[in-house]
């Protein structure tokens, strides 16, 4: 699966779980905390109010998609990241911001010993 295909699937899942037809943008915050271990939370804005996204209703396959995205985007040691924010607008436009959180990395390393 390509990164573009994964982005499309993530965007569709976010759109599927938003509980309002009148929303302006949505965010899925992602953490890759280990080999195959992914965490995510989300929120969206509707009627100028921030609301929690029902991430428990997102297809369970999203974990596989996010792991695949991490693998594809970090191949060759480039673009090292363990946190990301996927932002979506109702017209399908999206932005993906990748970040490295050294503190998260250190915490995961410490717990794995």
In this predicted structure, what is the pLDDT of residue 5?
95
- Domain CATH number, residue 43: 3.30.500.20
Higher pLDDT, 109 or 24: 24
The 10s digit of each residue's pLDDT in 4-16 is 999 999 999 999 9
Range 101-105 average pLDDT: 90
The 10s digit of each residue's pLDDT in 28-76 is 999 998 777 899 999 999 988 999 999 999 999 999 999 999 999 988 7
In this predicted structure, what is the pLDDT of residue 46?
92
In this predicted structure, what is the pLDDT of residue 36?
75
Q: How far out from the chain centre does Cα 34 lie?
A: 15
In this predicted structure, what is the pLDDT of residue 21?
77
| Count of structural domains, the chain | 1
Domain of 61 in residue numbering reads as 3-111
In this predicted structure, what is the pLDDT of residue 30?
96
Cut 0.95: pTM above it: no
The string of DSSP codes covering 18-87 is: ---SSEEEEEEEEEEEETTEEEEEEEEEETTEEEE--GGGS-TTHHHHHHHHHHHHTGGG-S--SEEEEE
């Amino acid at each position: 699966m390509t990164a573009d295909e994964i982005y499309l699937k993530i965007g569709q899942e976010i759109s599927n779980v938003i509980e309002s037809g009148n929303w302006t943008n949505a965010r899925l915050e992602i953490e890759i905390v280990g080999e195959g271990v992914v965490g995510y939370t989300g929120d969206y804005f509707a009627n100028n109010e921030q609301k929690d996204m029902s991430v428990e209703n997102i297809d369970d396959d999203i974990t596989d998609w996010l792991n695949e995205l991490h693998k594809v985007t970090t191949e060759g040691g480039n673009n090292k990241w363990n946190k990301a924010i996927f932002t979506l607008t109702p017209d399908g436009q999206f932005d993906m911001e990748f970040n490295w959180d050294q503190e998260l990395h250190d915490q995961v390393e410490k717990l794995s010993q």
